[in-house]
Structure 1
Amino acid sequence: MRSVLICHAGDDFDREGLAAWLGSFTELAGIVLLDETAAQKRARFRRELRRVGVLRFLDVVAMRIYQRLAIAARDHAWTRQALADMRRRYGAPPVVPQIVAASVNDAEVLEFLRGIAPDLMLARCKQLLKKKLINLPRLGCFVLHPGICPEYRNAHGCFWALAERDLTRVGMTLLKVDAGVDTGPVYGHYSYPFDEKRESYNVIQYRVVSENLDALADRFGQIAAGTAQPIDTHGRASANWGQPWLTRYLGWRRAVAKATAR
Structure 2
Amino acid sequence: MAERDIRTETVAVLIQPGPNPETVVNAVKTVFPNLVVIEEQPESKKLFIRRRARKLGWVQTLGQLATMIVSKYGKRFTTKRAAEILEEFGANPLVDSTIRRVAVPSADSPDFLKVLADIQPAVLLLVSTRMLKAGTLDAISCPVLNFHAGINPQYRGLQGGYWSLVMADAENFGATVHLVDAGVDTGGVLYQQRIRPSKRDTMQTYPLLQTAASTGIILDALQDAVTGNLKPLKIAAPSRQWYHPPIWTWLWNGVTRGIW
Instruction: Tell me, yes or no, whether TM beats 0.5.
Output: yes
User: Which residue number corresponds to residue 143 of structure 1?
Assistant: 146
1:43-58 map, 5 Å: 43-58=47-62
Shift of 1:77: 5.2
CA deviation string 1:214-261 (max 9, x = no partner): 343234323433444211124x21111122222222233245449xxx
User: Which residue number corresponds to residue 15 of structure 2?
Assistant: 7
Number of residue pairs the alignment of both structures matches: 248
Higher helix share: 1
Q: What amino acid is the match of 1:5?
A: V
User: Which residue number corresponds to residue 28 of structure 2?
Assistant: 22
CA deviation string 1:124-175 (max 9, x = no partner): 134111345435253x111111111111111221222222222122111111
User: Which residue number corresponds to residue 222 of structure 1?
Assistant: 224
Q: Is the 8 A contact 2:155 2:240 kept in 1?
A: yes
Shift of 1:51: 2.2
User: Which residue number corresponds to residue 158 of structure 1?
Assistant: 161
Q: In 2, distance between residues paired with 1:110 and 1:78?
A: 39
Q: In 1, distance between residues paired with 2:137 and 2:39?
A: 17
Using the aligned pairs only, state the percent identity.
Answer: 19
Note if 1:241 corresponds to 2:242. Answer: yes
Q: What amino acid is the match of 1:241?
A: W
What is the root-mean-square deviation in Å for CA atoms of aligned residues? Answer: 2.7
Q: Is the 8 A contact 1:163 1:251 kept in 2?
A: no
Q: Please, which of 88, 93, 96 is the counterpart of residue 93 of structure 1?
A: 96
Shift of 1:118: 0.5
Q: In 2, distance between residues paired with 1:57 and 1:94?
A: 37
Q: Is the 8 A contact 1:130 1:179 kept in 2?
A: yes
Q: Is the 8 A contact 1:22 1:28 kept in 2?
A: no
Q: In 2, distance between residues paired with 1:103 and 1:74?
A: 32
Shift of 1:186: 0.3
Shift of 1:3: 0.6
Matched residue SS, 1:113: helix
Greater RCO between the two (CA within 8 Å, min separation 6)?
2
- Unmatched segments (≥5 aa) in structure 1: none
Matched residue SS, 2:157: coil
Q: In 1, distance between residues paired with 2:47 and 2:170?
A: 32
Q: What amino acid is the match of 1:237?
A: P
